[in-house]
Amino acid sequence: MSQRNEAAGQPGPRLMPLPEEQWDARTRELLAFAPHDPGNRVPNIFTTLVRHPDLYERFLPFGGQLLLKGRLPEELRELLILRTAWNTGARYEWGRHVPLARAAGVTDADIDRVTEGPDTPGWTDLQRHLIRAADELNREATMSDATWEALAEHFGDAELIEIAMLVGQYHMLAFFLNATGVELDPGFDTRRL
């Protein structure tokens, strides 16, 4: 992962977050619904994405559905997001989701294992299949029959759809974050990357 980021050679953001003094009435309205960090700070992902207000307005409900109202247990959702962040070299995504993963019950040992892959000892069978699904979706844009069937033993149709959509959505976010160079917000780190 670090080789990918180093190869990009970006010294800083290609697009800066939109400064508050440039927020018009619509921007203020859109950002009012964004999750805020302590101190009421709006995270860089949102203040950068809002430079395209129409896209931002459509993105937030979709992303929120997957993150806050999805059917997957929080712990499993965060494992999928972290593996996607690892696979795509998305430092921002990783840095923001490690604390969310911990809050959802993901252990530091599991976070370390995310960086090593599905065949690393210590995973449950379900966790192994989910990490493998994230890897296959990243590489092949699909899941193998074996992975699909293994997950289908644990999940119904809606959850299987959500797994693919979750990985795809965080893959898309990684493209945006990496291409624009969104910087990680204060108080978050990427030490494991």
pLDDT digits (tens, 9 = 90+) for 78-130: 999 999 999 999 999 999 999 999 999 999 999 999 999 999 999 999 999 99
User: Which pLDDT score is estimated for 75?
Assistant: 98
Q: Does the pLDDT of residue 5 top 60, yes or no?
A: no
Q: Is 108 exposed, middle or buried (0-12, 13-18, 19+ CB in 10 A)?
A: exposed
Q: Does the pLDDT of residue 192 top 80, yes or no?
A: no
User: Which pLDDT score is estimated for 4?
Assistant: 42
pLDDT, tens digit, 9 for 90 and up, residues 32-75: 999 999 889 999 999 999 999 999 999 999 999 999 999 999 99
Tokens of 100: 């969310």
Length of the chain: 193
pLDDT, tens digit, 9 for 90 and up, residues 124-149: 999 999 999 999 999 999 999 999 99
Architecture of domain 74-180: Up-down Bundle (1.20)
Domain positions in the chain are 74-180
The number of CA neighbours under 13 Å toward the Cβ of 168 is 11
Average pLDDT over residues 183-188: 91
User: Which pLDDT score is estimated for 12?
Assistant: 84
Q: Does the pLDDT of residue 26 top 50, yes or no?
A: yes
Q: Smallest Cα–Cα separation from 86: which of 124, 112, 114?
A: 114
* Count of beta carbons in the 10 Å neighbourhood of residue 85: 28
Q: Higher confidence at residue 119 or residue 188? A: 119
pTM: 0.92
Q: Does the pLDDT of residue 7 top 50, yes or no?
A: no
* Count of beta carbons in the 10 Å neighbourhood of residue 62: 11
What residues have CB less than 8 Å from 19, skipping those under 6 apart?
Answer: none
Q: What are phi and psi of 18, to 5 degrees?
A: -70, 120
Q: Does the pLDDT of residue 154 top 70, yes or no?
A: yes
User: Which pLDDT score is estimated for 9?
Assistant: 52
User: Which pLDDT score is estimated for 10?
Assistant: 59
Tokens of 34: 């964004």
Average pLDDT over residues 15-40: 95
Tokens of 24: 């018009």
Give the C-alpha separation, 91 to 114, whole Å. 14
Pair 116, 1: CB distance under 8 Å? no
Q: Does the pLDDT of residue 190 top 90, yes or no?
A: no
Give the C-alpha separation, 96 to 82, whole Å. 10
Q: What share of the chain is helix, strand, coil (3-state, %, to 5)?
A: 65, 0, 35
